[in-house]
Structure 1
Amino acid sequence: MDQIKRRDAGIAYIADKEVMEQQKRARKLTQELNTVDRSDFEKIEKIVKELLGKSEGAFINPPFYCDYGFNIEVGKNFYANYNCTILDVGKVTIGDNCMFAPNVAIYTAGHPIHPDSRNSMYEYGIPVSIGDNCWLGGNTIVCPGVKIGNNVVIGAGSVVTKDISDWSIAAGNPCRVIRTITEEDRKYYYKKNEFDEDAWKDLTARGFGGLE
């Protein structure tokens, strides 16, 4: 079994010449993305669409970094703010309507703990999945193998080492669930600041006001 097949099978592999050859496409595209005119939104969207394995309406504010691109699958309306890094050695699956604040990092890649094993050049990639309608706060780090459910908010500066269940607010290092998101949260835009009457009428008219 060659190293690419080992990597894709999720077992220990060595990033040999053939593996690194696969990274050239992503490096060229991310270089293009990171040097494009930042006001040329159409060009940015075009590069992002070419880079990612699957996307629909995705927008990434450069700079952005990844290993392959084809191992990143995002749903509809994905948005990543500045300086996002996704090490997509393993598959990264992101659902619809997800937002990343600046400096979010997703790591599927890792190295053995023991120095002899690590110095052997073997490494690994374990998939990460993020559900629909998730918001990851600034400087969040998601570690290999993590599964984040639907409708989750991760607080800024979190290090997510374990799975997070649906409808959760979670934060910390290591990241832990703080509480469940409820219907009561719908009327607030920041902590205890409620939407004003005009904003509430607008979002309700557009179908975001619940059953009222």
Structure 2
Amino acid sequence: MLHGDPFLPYHPQLVEERERCKGAVFRFNNTSNAAVEIAPDERMRHFRSILAARWIHQYRGPNPPMAGHLGSEVFVDTPFMCDYGYNISIGDRVAIGTQCKFLDSGRITIGRNTEVGANVTIDTRKVPNDFKSMKGSRGAAIAADVHIGENVYIGANVTILAGVKIGTGAIIHPGSVVVRDIPRDVVARGNPAEVRMVHWGED
């Protein structure tokens, strides 16, 4: 799965990993319960446990997956959703808005000083291009990494598809669908997102 090879999403091992991740995500999302006072450090401890994904330590294969990474001064609003956790790497001073979904069959990397708006979906599974491969719970899938650079702004309701790289300093307008790489220091908007060159300081 992590090497871009076809994999079976409903293999028992992957189903179990997603279920365990779901439990960690549930605990984190419940830290926002108004009836329970929880310190910010404790909230982030719960989020860090999602990325640490200690349940993968039971994996006996020759190349067990590495745990995710969480930088300092990160803010993640609730509710949050992801599939595995260990494929997510978040740099320092990143803010992630409410209702975000990180479908991390492939690796998702977010550079420092980046803001991810509310209801953003990052989907690392490629869209099938052969109807013969679509076999429901018996079908194979392919994942591709998503990389978001430093100092990026991603507006609310953006969807980022598998294999996309977003360059440092890019701005993605709300509601855009990003299907291809976005260069650094540009503004992109639309479905699919189109790039508009910008000279900073202009209106």
Aligned length: 179
* Cα displacement (A) at 1:180: 2.1
Residue deviations 1:17-46, cap 9 Å, x none?
A: 012222233211111112223563333211
The letter for the 1-side match of 2:23 is K
Contact 2:83 2:104 in 1 (8 A): yes
1:21 match: secondary structure = helix
Give how far 1:68 is off: 0.7
- Specify the alignment match of 2:175 in structure 1: 157
Shift of 1:181: 4.5
Counterparts of 2:120 and 2:76, CA distance in 1? 12
Amino acid at match of 1:116: K
Q: For 1:147, which of 143, 165, 170 is the aligned residue?
A: 165
5 Å matches for 1:57-96? 57-96=73-112
- For 2:193 and 2:117, locate their aligned partners in 1 and report how far apart those are by CA, in whole Å: 16
For residues 161-211 of structure 1, give each alpha carbon's deviation from its aligned partner in whole angstroms, at most 9, with x where no partner exists: 0100010111110001122242x15xxxxxx6xxxxxxxxxxxxxxxxxxx
Find out whether 1:35 has 2:30 as its counterpart: yes
Give runs of aligned pairs for residues 129-148 of structure 1, distance below 5 A.
Answer: 129-148=147-166
Task: Look up the SS of the partner of 2:24 in the other structure.
Answer: helix
Match of 2:48 in 1: 49
Partner of 1:210: none
Largest Rg, 1 or 2 = 1
Instruction: Give the 4+ runs in structure 1 shifted more than 4 A.
Output: none
Q: CA RMSD in A?
A: 1.6
Residue type matched to 1:22 in 2?
E
One-letter amino acid matched to 1:17:
P
Identity %: 30
Residue 12 (str. 1) matches residue 12 (str. 2): no
State the TM-score, normalizing by the size of structure 1: 0.79
Distance 2:199 2:169 in 1: 8
Higher RCO, 1 or 2 (CA under 8 Å, sep at least 6)?
Answer: 2
Would the aligned equivalents of 2:32 and 2:78 in 1 still touch at CA under 8 Å?
A: no
Aligned residue in 1 for 2:198:
180
Query: Which has more strand, going by share of residues?
Result: 1
Distance 1:36 1:154, change over 3 A: same
TM-score where L is the length of structure 2: 0.83
Paired AA for residue 6 in structure 2: A
